[in-house]
Amino acid sequence: MTGTTSRQTRSGLGALRQRFDALAREIAKFGVVGALGVLVNFGVFNLMRHGTDLQVVRASVIATVVAIAFNYVGFRYFTYRDRDKSGRAKELTLFLLFSVVGLVIENGVLYAATYGFGWDSSLQSNFFKFLGMGLATLFRFWSYRTWVFKALPAREAVASAESFLEERPAAAPPVHRVK
């Protein structure tokens, strides 16, 4: 009985390890796309802020919209390319909905700093834009992976079954108990 329990524990740990590794890869890919999106966002923001007469929050909103478009392409074709692609219209609608919430979080922080506290220097604007982006990123990661780019249930079930079969002993004799 101890051997069976030990194998089950190892099997459970192996499955947990696989899930953790998959989550770590997903976070890394999300981070790569997100980091590039940050560069796009800051580039457009500073170009708009210093190259036009737009107010700081308006320039930030435009930059965020450009970054959202960039990130959708990156997430769909890099981070979550193996996820369900059957409902693209629904996926895009949910992506835009959660992105708009992220836009409000990101630019709400900048708005509060700029108009609530009068922190409007270039350094302050970039700092509070960055802070808002960080908070919005936490929300976006959770919402995108939970609602937008859903894992394919069949693939998870097959992977789970395969890992169970790989770790199960080939032919374990039945245990007979005497009463």
Is the dihedral angle over the CA atoms 122, 124, 125, 127 positive or is it negative?
positive
Q: Please indicate, yes or no, whether the overall pTM of this predicted structure exceeds 0.85.
A: no
Rounded to the nearest integer, the mean pLDDT of the chain is 84
Distance CA 33, CA 137 (A): 11
The secondary structure of the chain in percent helix, strand, coil, rounded to multiples of 5, reads: 80, 0, 20
Instruction: Give the DSSP letter of residue 80.
Output: T
Residues 10-40: tens digit of each pLDDT: 667 788 899 899 889 988 998 899 899 999 9
Total residues belonging to the chain: 179
Residues 112-140: tens digit of each pLDDT: 999 999 999 999 999 999 999 999 989 98
